[in-house]
Amino acid sequence: MSTQEFNAGYRYSEIYEEVLPPHYYGGKEDLDLVRDYLSTHLGPPPDAGKHEVLELGCGPGRLTSLLAPYAARLLATDKSEGMISAVRQRFADITTRCTDTESVVHALHREGRSNSFDLIGAFWSMSYPLLECFEETTADGVVSTTDPEQGRTRARSLLQHLVDLLAPGGHMIMLFFDANTEEQRLVTNLWERIAPFPGTGRDYTWNLLHDALIDADIDDRGTFHHARLPGVAVLRSTTAAQDWFLTGHLNNYAKLCNDPRVHSAIDAFVHKHLRPDGTVHIPSAVHFVDFHADTNPSRHLPTADS
């Protein structure tokens, strides 16, 4: 295991957990946003879960621990072997698949699992399979599709099958990065030294998801709830902040990480957000998504206590 290796932050759960800073939104860490949402909509964690639960891009299981109490059965998936092996060690009772999200969503559809998941979670992980419909990044470079329309069709099909997996009344909850923050604008600017992003740019994956869920709502498949929450990522030192950029955002991609101009841009950003106590507070934002597959028109009626 080398911390300098391409994609080390996704290959090795220890490196991911080491570089990932806590993110806070309105006084709550990202985990607590999800914990509170589940508690409000599904009730406090029960002693025995009764739901069919799917988590996509589970990583080392940071949020799996919040979903698990609600689950009669939990399927956690991630394309990284290192992440899947960490999640298996942490949760003995769950089923895992080491595969990419696009493949697993289509596979579940073929296996007859449509309309069967009461809870689907994808936390900071849905942008990757959507981007992979248009381009693939390896240690050697970014290979873009020659047919962007085909990429859009792939992305739409992935999102339609994903919505299809929800059982009536089920919730699909996501945390999705906001490309428009100062932090992500810098990351975009750095990656665009290698290749431009497809479609509308770095926010394209969010736009695809947003449009697909609006369409599903219009088609009366459920209700799309969305909030953009501003927040902050807290890094314990300038070194931790630099590592977050190099390993977390630039995936240790050699051409960028060996470029002194990239280091200067990151250093200037980090020093701008340096606090007197030596920590670095980076402005952040997250899209909080819940697609609720409730199609009963009576849900709009006032309740007795309203």
Residues that bind ligand SAM (CB under 6 A): 10, 57-59, 62-63, 78-80, 83, 100-101, 123-125, 128-129, 132
**Which residue, 52 or 78, is less far from ligand SAM as judged by CB?**
78
String of DSSP letters for 42-106: H-SPPSS--EEEEEES-TTSTTHHHHGGGEEEEEEEES-HHHHHHHHHH-TT-EEEES-HHHHHH
- Euclidean distance between CA atoms 265 and 108, whole angstroms: 43
**Which residue, 205 or 221, is less far from ligand SAM as judged by CB?**
205
**Which residue, 62 or 273, is less far from ligand SAM as judged by CB?**
62
Query: Minimal distance in Å, beta carbon 133 to ligand SAM?
Result: 10
What the block records as the tokens of 89 is 């060690």
Residue nearest to ligand SAM (CB): 59
Query: Minimal distance in Å, beta carbon 251 to ligand SAM?
Result: 10
Residue 218: exposed, middle, or buried by beta-carbon count in 10 A (0-12, 13-18, 19+)?
exposed
Q: Which residues share a beta bridge with 227?
A: 288
Q: How crowded is the C-beta side of 205, counted as CA atoms within 13 Å? A: 22
**Which residue, 34 or 221, is less far from ligand SAM as judged by CB?**
34
**Which residue, 132 or 243, is less far from ligand SAM as judged by CB?**
132
What the block records as the tokens of 4 is 């300098």
Query: Minimal distance in Å, beta carbon 104 to ligand SAM?
Result: 8
Query: Minimal distance in Å, beta carbon 69 to ligand SAM?
Result: 17
φ, ψ for residue 170, nearest 5 deg: -75, 160
Query: Minimal distance in Å, beta carbon 151 to ligand SAM?
Result: 14
